[in-house]
Amino acid sequence: MLLDGDHLVEEAIRSGVRLDLVALAEHMEEERRADIGAHAARAGATCVVVSAPVLAAMSPVKNPSGVVAIGRRPSASLDAALSISPQMVLLLDGIQDPGNFGAIVRAAEACGATGIVASEGCADPFGWKALRGGMGSTFRVRVAARQPMAEAIARARHRGARVIAAVPRGGVALPDCDLRTPSAILLGGEGGGLPEALLDAADARVSIPMRAPVESLNVAISAALVLYEAARQRSA
């Protein structure tokens, strides 16, 4: 996986991610470059100092921050993502915007989610843009990518989790939904939401109360609100 930015690289090092190569811009402040390079070297990475044109060729962003790295993707199986009990797992289907995916991962860590399962139709959780959105959380939350969602639902239920589908309207109001018990929250992609087959497979449906004329929320915001409510209930 490609990591862009000093913050993300430092988060990877702190989280124990194996880095193979760290490229540092020669125009970076010398003390800062030496500090990052020393941390990366202690973590086993090969460090190189490169010119601005070389760094620009390596970085996917328009204005590189000065640090680009290649690291090993953390791997989590479906069972690993569902293994921490009591579960508060996100089951993500068709989340196509990598920025949204990264923001969801960040909210998941902040609110104490125990794992994330992403369907085959989701953006790559370890793509550079999703990693930037996660701001390091992707290195610490158990994320099982490219999983068949029907199997994920069945496995979550087998482990005792209640599967709850988030829908814009018609579900139990979020404050009235019991999220203290083991739960797996189904969230659908931008625009289309969850397909009927997954809605029918859920044990319950939950909706976030909204004032008219708003009819729906960004999926990352929805995930954060549901997770925050779950954290609030579990800490009460």
* Burial category of 212 from C-beta neighbours within 10 Å (exposed 0-12, middle 13-18, buried 19 and up): exposed
How confident is the model over 129-182, as pLDDT tens digits? 999 999 999 999 999 999 999 999 999 999 999 999 999 999 999 999 999 999
Of the listed ranges 106-110, 112-116, 152-156, 192-196, the least confidently predicted one is: 192-196
Question: Measured in whole angstroms, how far is the alpha carbon of residue 124 from the centre of its chain?
Answer: 10
Domain covering 78-235 in this structure, CATH number = 3.40.1280.10
Does the pTM surpass 0.85? The reply is yes
pLDDT at 62: 87
CATH topology of domain 2-71: 60s Ribosomal Protein L30; Chain: A; (3.30.1330)
Q: Please give the share of the chain, as a percent, with pLDDT higher than 90.
A: 92
| pLDDT tens digits along 17-32 | 999 999 999 999 999 9
**Looking up tokens 């915007």, which residue turns up?**
97
- Ranges of each domain in the chain: 2-71, 78-235
pLDDT of residue 67: 95
Q: To which residue do tokens 């997954």 refer? A: 198
Written as one letter, the residue type at 157 is: R
pLDDT confidence bin for 65, thresholds 50/70/90: confident
